[in-house]
Structure 1
Amino acid sequence: MTSAVLDEAVKKAALAWVSVGDGPALGVWCMPLDGSLIVVSGPGEQHAPGLAEASAATVRLRGDNGGLIVVAEMAVTRLTPGGEEWNEIAPQLAQKRLNASGTFDELAARWAADGCAIVRLTPSEQDTTAPDLPSGSGAAVPRETPARVETRRPFKLHRVRKS
């Protein structure tokens, strides 16, 4: 696998599948910046358990056709709120955050106050591999989640009479 494929996948990434340790790969939105990916997680933001505390993560990126093209081991660096990198990157990341209330500066300040983690995922060249794709579909049973929606019976305004 050439680094050109990884570089191109990182440049075009808006969504990455990130797994920490032996955990499952979770889809997170990200922002490409200078050959690395920037991800925010925490209260009120996306759920990425263990990412803020990790030193490395496995990242899967898709290509132009939407299929998996590269799997890379990336170094995880957490940005310090109020630090030079935080002050430079957080406003840029806030601009990419869809459906956020308030201004970009207010959003970045909320991330710092709520304890959200902004991490930089930097690829390491030696661990980049082409995915070994199976011949089957690869479908898996959905994981258990507390996010369940009860389905209700349809509302009927009038009783329908049988003739």
Structure 2
Amino acid sequence: MGVKTEEAALVEEATKKSGLVWVNGRALWHGWAGGGLCVVGGPGEQPLPGLVDGGAATVTVRSKDKGGRLVTWTGKAELLAPRSEKWDAAVAELKGRRLNAPDGEHMVERWARECEVFRVVPEGELLEAPGTMPAGSGAAVPVATPATTRGEVPAALPRLLARRRKRA
């Protein structure tokens, strides 16, 4: 990893402890194994946004206690070959974190047969870290719409509602 030791420790610890990360802008559940973030996707699993073997990925990690952005880092995605040593290590971590799997004990076989397991290894400098966060919220601008909110409440409405309650 091309970052300082304290930055590498921040990336690893924050990613390990967070139950959710954003990879290329999409929230994913994950694990940490072999020095990288591990995710599984495919039929019956989460979609993996733009992850390709050898491609770059941007990972944003939230703080476990506050839930806000803690660190954003870039990494190189690696598609792990089913039943390889790296795949086995990643799956061992991921299977304990997978909630409500439709096939329980057969989940690992399904992953090997139908799914993709990626490991994203941190590379390069951190994009965001404590002390260097952008001032803006990062929220997307709402889409323009012709829909409107209801106008003002008619002055007589509270009295009408009060009468109905008395009758009941």
The question of a shared fold, defined as TM-score above 0.5 by the shorter chain, is answered with yes
CA distance in 2, matches of 1:94, 1:136: 34
Contact residue 91 and residue 108 of structure 1 kept, 8 A: no
* SS of residue in 2 equivalent to 1:57: strand
* SS of residue in 2 equivalent to 1:96: coil
| Root mean square deviation, CA, Å | 2.5
CA distance in 2, matches of 1:80, 1:17: 23
Residue 128 of structure 2 corresponds to which residue in structure 1? 130
Question: Which protein is bigger by CA-based radius of gyration?
Answer: 2
Contact residue 38 and residue 118 of structure 2 kept, 8 A: yes
Residue 66 of structure 1 corresponds to which residue in structure 2? 67
TM-score of the two chains, using structure 2 as the length reference: 0.69
* SS of residue in 2 equivalent to 1:87: helix
Instruction: Report the Cα offset of residue 96 of structure 1.
Output: 1.5
The structure with the largest helix share of the pair is 2
Instruction: Report the Cα offset of residue 108 of structure 1.
Output: 1.1
Residue 117 of structure 2 corresponds to which residue in structure 1? 118
Instruction: Report the Cα offset of residue 119 of structure 1.
Output: 0.6
Contact residue 58 and residue 72 of structure 1 kept, 8 A: yes
Q: Give matches, 1:33-48, under 5 Å.
A: 33-48=33-48
Return the letter of the residue paired with 1:26.
R
Q: Deviations over 1:65-118 (max 9, x none)?
A: 1110111011111110122222333243122110013344x111111212x111
| Aligned CA distance change for structure 1 residues 83 and 33 (closer, same or farther; 3 Å) | closer
2:14 to 9, 17, 23: 9
Q: Deviations over 1:98-156 (max 9, x none)?
A: 0013344x111111212x111111112x32132542345734437xxxxxxxxxxxxxx
Residue 161 of structure 2 corresponds to which residue in structure 1? none
Task: Establish whether residue 108 from structure 1 lines up as the match of residue 113 from structure 2.
Answer: no
| Aligned CA distance change for structure 1 residues 66 and 9 (closer, same or farther; 3 Å) | same
Give the unaligned 5+ runs of structure 1: 20-24, 143-161
Instruction: Report the Cα offset of residue 54 of structure 1.
Output: 5.1
The alignment of Structure 1 onto Structure 2 pairs a total of residues equal to: 136
TM-score of the two chains, using structure 1 as the length reference: 0.71
Residue 18 of structure 1 corresponds to which residue in structure 2? 23
CA distance in 1, matches of 2:84, 2:34: 18
